[in-house]
Structure 1
Amino acid sequence: MTSTAAPPTEADRAPEAPTAPEAPTAPGSAAAPSGARPGDRHARRFGLPVAICLVMGNVIGGGIFLLPASVAPFGTVSLVAFGVLTAGAIALALVFGRLAERHPQTGGPYVYVRAAFGDFAGFLAAYSYWITTWVSNAALAVAAVGYLGVLFPAVGAHRWSMCLAALAVQWLPALANLAGTRYVGAVQLVATVLKLAPLLLVAVGGLFFFDPANLGPFQATGQSPVGAVSASAAILLFSYLGVESAAVSAGEVRDPARNVGRATILGTAGAAVVYLLGTLSVFGLVAHEKLVSSQAPFSDAVDAMFGGTWGGTAVACAAVISMVGALNGWTLLSAQTPYAAARDGLFPKVFETKRRGVPVVGVLVTAVLASALTVYNYTAGSAGVFETLVLVTTFTATVPYLLSTAAQLYFLASGQGERVRRGRLVRDAVLAALAFAFSMWLVAGSGYAAVYQGVLFLFAGVLLYALMAARKQRSAARSAG
């Protein structure tokens, strides 16, 4: 069971006495998560398989169904970009695994950054991550409606039917979250299995129908190899967002010091295999000139494998399941970070409320904000505004990554290597440096407009920090008096 000790002080964050981690639950135990009533059958800690599914389900959202067509104009050199990004994502996953061993607490990046750099940096990590989750939830729901329209044409007949469908897609995962971690884990496990079945059918089965003649040129744009890799990487950069999922929910994972790192690495590696093999198979199944203009590359791939025109329906089902699973996981993460920050007095205290192992207020606030953004999107028809907000999240999502990798470098450079062998210390330092460089690449790949607008969006939260820090100071003064 997680600790209910008081928030760490400045002395607790000093190198000599880092923040005390929550006491890990013994492997295989059935202890309830922090904030849950003992014996609550609706609250259950995630085992390793569910934690892996949480990572894979959040990394693999709906974008994979369009990725092959998105990068096809660059040629097969885009597979090289995928390989480079996979290496960076694995390095980031390994760093999160090491950080989770040090601080196996709910909150992930927020916990690591606050322990290294104090309250303000921790707040920025929490606030930026929170923004990312609820705006992304709205974007996922809107994207899911497009696939629902393929299955049920009436959904896409009018903007209000589309809006209601998007709201339903958001609130069903939210209700699963409110029911307790037991149901969150069950939905995530089922959704991940159902989404992977058709993806693996194409990724693995497609290799048996692979035709090298369909690959097209290695470089299709006339750019230099480095330029082509960078250009295609800019599209693929955010395919791996979500590698931190198990770390953010560490307090709900059994034996987090051990399982969070394993889930992060295995989940990221599993997503990478699906991405790489899926893209390669589609490249070999669909002729390059057709793939460049394809609106449903996986549908075209299924049709090429088995004939007929049923591929579109099959892929639409897989896409809806994939997005609902991603929404289920992201809704949980959207509540976990504010919960951790609220325990430390850096978010409103109401976010600390937990029922059945889930921060219920965080779930409700996220669902309401995402729903409001969705309704605004369909009411005003402001696609430009909505797309701008989604673009901003591509920057805000990378802020916790950058700060977390910097925190790991700080821990290592300040002598907090925890008496490990020199070889491991060097390895951890190299991995942290690679992950930091990868995070910087993510920021650069966001584009000038996203970085500019994202910084404004991020700094708007400074007012909230000022108010919360003042309240925390007053509370400390009253306690001292």
Structure 2
Amino acid sequence: MHDTGTVPQSAPAPRETPAVPSLTEDPTGDTGRHARRFGLPVATALVMGNIIGGGIFLLPASVAPYGTVSLIAFGVLTVGAIALALVFGRLAERDPRTGGPYVYAREAFGDFAGFLAAWAYWITTWVSNAALAVAAVGYLDVLIPVNHHRWSACLAALALQWLPALANFAGTRYVGAVQLVSTVLKFVPLLLVAVGGLFFFDPHNLGPFQASGGSAVGAVSAAAAVLLFSYLGVESAAVSAGEVENARRNVGRATVIGTTGAALVYLLGTLSVFGTVAHDRLVHSTAPFSDAVNAMFGGSWGGWAVALAALVSMTGCLNGWTLLSAQTPYAAAQDGLFPAAFARRRRGVPTVGVAVTVVLASLLTISTYTSGAGKVFETLVLVTTFTATVPYLLATAAQLFHLVSGRREQVDRARLVRDAVVAAVAAAFTLWLVAGAGYAAVYQGVLFLFAGIIVYAVMAARRPKSG
């Protein structure tokens, strides 16, 4: 393939705004030592760290009510996630700018599609942060009893959100360092459970194949919708492409390597927990990996160690997601589709975007504990499933658009066919997830999207007319 990196002729012309620069090319002149590009190892760690956050530690208990049929959902989800990873890698080769799905959707379909991708992805990030912080408290409770009092749990969840935000305010140099360290530290206990648990595997603990009733297809779809929350982050390197060295090459590699590695850890970890913790106990567990280690070795020391690892993992995940939450609004603000304040940066980080995101997530966290964390947490997970599919589907549609239009891929028919099959799988996968999210999640997600249309109308009216 001959990829010149130029923008296709069908792309919308910029309206008196520059192309989205990388964070290391700050127009304000902020290119100091705190702003540093990510190499392939850190970019891969960003992907894996954002995927393997709270998901791996919550996944077994979240899908246990569906029975072992959820393992089938897990396999289908993994195939879909890898297909999305390949799509993002190919799109990043074409346009390695910060913003990910937003950039791809706007280039292919215009401002409104780009705004919808940015708006939906931004909602996904800060709602996910709130849900992840609420989930992290379940493991913190193993170390320090905080869940017995609603407001002490709420304060703990808020602290877990604000500490990563402070790391982001310190600059991208520290974001990358925290991400790399937290990703490395979490793998020791994860591999202990994922691999060691296989030696303690008891088939009698698996429970029924289909525990939720109804059709098997419906159970697989419902389980996959919950599981997608654990896979959010597959687009991390693409969203932060402007900060990745040699982005055309490394974004795709980091995305595929990170997603595949996370999938392997998920599969072994979920299978081990299913086989070491009795099904009736797993359904009600708030710290399934701690319960698994306690079942493997007895006592409580193992569960305590895993709970500590879970907190490290979730903090690292929140660190990465906090950065991502500011990247897409930053890219959209550069094009005049988000308020200009979101384009302000300090030490390589869009600080306004970070601040607004952590405030919104904090308010949502307080609301969660006020109205009852359990049910609201599940609702938040499903809402993020729906909102995440919007930018995923638009990015996949952008890839299909470029393939069908025939630019650049005409010289390599084999690659054209391969990319088309992968993009079709990713598109079908995202539509399937929308169906699995359920009516309530789709209803609430659509309300979020419709609110964005009002914002777009205001921003479009305020933009200077071109020509």
Q: Match for residue 4 of structure 2? A: none
| 1:447 aligned onto 2:445 | no
Q: d(CA) in 2 for partners of 1:427 and 1:262?
A: 17
Q: d(CA) in 1 for partners of 2:381 and 2:279?
A: 30
| 1:358 aligned onto 2:349 | yes
Deviations 1:68-103 (A, max 9, x none): 233334443332221111111101110010001001
Are the aligned partners of 1:74 and 1:232 in contact in 2 as well (CA < 8 Å)?
A: yes
Question: Structure 1's 291 and 350: CA in aligned 2 closer, same or farther, altered over 3 A?
Answer: closer
| 1:285 aligned onto 2:276 | yes
Q: Match for residue 404 of structure 2? A: 413
Q: Match for residue 113 of structure 1? A: 105
Deviation of the 1:175 alpha carbon? 0.8
Q: Which moved more, 1:344-353 or 1:229-238?
A: 229-238
75, 100, 106: which one aligns with 2:92:
100
| 1:308 aligned onto 2:306 | no
| 1:372 aligned onto 2:363 | yes
Q: In the alignment, residue 69 of structure 2 is paired with which amino acid?
A: V
Q: In the alignment, residue 242 of structure 1 is paired with which amino acid?
A: G
Question: Structure 1's 233 and 373: CA in aligned 2 closer, same or farther, altered over 3 A?
Answer: closer
Q: Match for residue 337 of structure 1? A: 328
Deviation of the 1:356 alpha carbon? 1.6
Q: In the alignment, residue 123 of structure 2 is paired with which amino acid?
A: I
106, 124, 128: which one aligns with 2:120:
128
1:461 aligns to what SS in structure 2?
A: helix
17, 35, 43: which one aligns with 1:43:
35
Q: d(CA) in 2 for partners of 1:321 and 1:133?
A: 19
Deviations 1:111-156 (A, max 9, x none): 0000000000100000111111112212222222232232122x44
Q: d(CA) in 2 for partners of 1:187 and 1:36?
A: 25
Q: d(CA) in 2 for partners of 1:62 and 1:244?
A: 17
Q: Match for residue 189 of structure 1? A: 180
Counterparts of residues 200-239 of structure 1 (less than 5 Å): 200-216=191-207, 218-219=209-210, 225-239=216-230
Q: Match for residue 58 of structure 1? A: 50
| 1:164 aligned onto 2:162 | no
Q: How well do the aligned residues superpose, as a CA RMSD in angstroms?
A: 2.8
Are the aligned partners of 1:36 and 1:356 in contact in 2 as well (CA < 8 Å)?
A: no
Question: Structure 1's 456 and 32: CA in aligned 2 closer, same or farther, altered over 3 A?
Answer: closer
Q: In the alignment, residue 84 of structure 1 is paired with which amino acid?
A: V
Q: Match for residue 386 of structure 2? A: 395
2:324 aligns to what SS in structure 1?
A: helix
Deviation of the 1:62 alpha carbon? 1.6
Question: Structure 1's 272 and 381: CA in aligned 2 closer, same or farther, altered over 3 A?
Answer: closer
Q: Match for residue 429 of structure 1? A: 420
Are the aligned partners of 1:252 and 1:357 in contact in 2 as well (CA < 8 Å)?
A: no
Are the aligned partners of 1:346 and 1:468 in contact in 2 as well (CA < 8 Å)?
A: yes
Deviation of the 1:222 alpha carbon? 6.8
2:463 aligns to what SS in structure 1?
A: helix
Q: Match for residue 328 of structure 1? A: 319
456, 460, 473: which one aligns with 2:464:
473
Question: Structure 1's 211 and 456: CA in aligned 2 closer, same or farther, altered over 3 A?
Answer: closer
Question: Structure 1's 36 and 94: CA in aligned 2 closer, same or farther, altered over 3 A?
Answer: farther
| 1:85 aligned onto 2:83 | no
Are the aligned partners of 2:50 and 2:321 in contact in 1 as well (CA < 8 Å)?
A: yes
Q: Match for residue 298 of structure 1? A: 289
Are the aligned partners of 1:75 and 1:219 in contact in 2 as well (CA < 8 Å)?
A: yes
Are the aligned partners of 2:221 and 2:432 in contact in 1 as well (CA < 8 Å)?
A: no
60, 63, 66: which one aligns with 1:71:
63
Q: Which moved more, 1:38-47 or 1:251-260?
A: 38-47
Q: Match for residue 3 of structure 2? A: none
Q: Match for residue 11 of structure 2? A: 13
Q: d(CA) in 2 for partners of 1:209 and 1:416?
A: 54
Deviation of the 1:331 alpha carbon? 0.6
Q: d(CA) in 2 for partners of 1:219 and 1:368?
A: 40
Question: Structure 1's 386 and 77: CA in aligned 2 closer, same or farther, altered over 3 A?
Answer: closer
Deviation of the 1:380 alpha carbon? 6.2
Q: Which moved more, 1:415-424 or 1:454-463?
A: 415-424
Q: d(CA) in 1 for partners of 2:326 and 2:302?
A: 36
Q: In the alignment, residue 417 of structure 2 is paired with which amino acid?
A: V
Q: In the alignment, residue 75 of structure 2 is paired with which amino acid?
A: G
Q: Match for residue 179 of structure 1? A: 170
Deviation of the 1:385 alpha carbon? 6.5
Ranges in structure 2 where 5+ consecutive residues have no aligned partner: 1-6
Aligned residues: 458
Q: Which moved more, 1:337-346 or 1:455-464?
A: 455-464
Q: In the alignment, residue 344 of structure 1 is paired with which amino acid?
A: D
Question: Structure 1's 409 and 369: CA in aligned 2 closer, same or farther, altered over 3 A?
Answer: same
Q: d(CA) in 2 for partners of 1:43 and 1:131?
A: 26
Deviation of the 1:266 alpha carbon? 0.7
Are the aligned partners of 1:34 and 1:252 in contact in 2 as well (CA < 8 Å)?
A: no
Question: Structure 1's 162 and 414: CA in aligned 2 closer, same or farther, altered over 3 A?
Answer: same
Deviations 1:275-302 (A, max 9, x none): 1011112223234454445443322321
Question: Structure 1's 45 and 399: CA in aligned 2 closer, same or farther, altered over 3 A?
Answer: same
Q: d(CA) in 1 for partners of 2:447 and 2:164?
A: 30
Deviation of the 1:64 alpha carbon? 2.4
The TM-score with structure 1 as length reference comes to: 0.87
Q: Which moved more, 1:159-168 or 1:237-246?
A: 159-168
128, 136, 140: which one aligns with 2:132:
140
The TM-score with structure 2 as length reference comes to: 0.90
Q: Match for residue 265 of structure 2? A: 274
